[in-house]
Amino acid sequence: MNSPIYIFNNILPQVLIDKIQGYIPVDIVIKTAIKKYYNKLYQEKLLNEEKIFNDNVYPKCVCPNCPDNGKQKLFRRRECHYCLEYEFYTQTNEYTSDKYRIVILDNPQYNYIEYDYIEDDYDSIDEFVYDDNKIWLE
């Protein structure tokens, strides 16, 4: 552990040390570096989704009221099967990379670091157990 709490390692139980560690503010330099990394991952996600749309969905599009079977769309409406399927997969984060999924979507500390938001029900974290496979279980 790399914090000022390490002096209590042999005195306090690990559960209590983890609780205290949750209230210690993150260093500003580290926090800005993590936020930049979050932004980089989000931009990669957007570029990846746009590339998938332009390469796979856009040529197959058959939305009505679009010239040339939707290949030269005037409006980016999603009315055909391909466009609706793409929209569904973007909403369910199927096109995201594993890095984005691990670092942002599955990270319980993401809201705290990115938005300085602490959940009101902080004691509900006690219900979670961290196993050896790095999976959060209830």
Residue 111 CA to residue 32 CA, distance in Å, equals 14
Residue 115 has pLDDT above 60, yes or no: yes
Neighbours of 69 (CB within 10 A): 14
Tell me the pLDDT tens digit for each residue of 40-71: 999 999 999 999 988 988 788 777 655 555 45
Residue 73 has pLDDT above 70, yes or no: no
DSSP 33: H
What is the torsion angle, in degrees rounded to the nearest 10, for the CA atoms of residue 45, residue 46, residue 52 and residue 53? 150
DSSP 109: T
Q: Would you kindly state where each structural domain of the chain is located, as residue ranges?
A: 27-116
Lowest mean per-residue pLDDT among 28-37, 95-104, 120-129: 120-129
Predicted local distance difference test score (pLDDT) of residue 75: 62
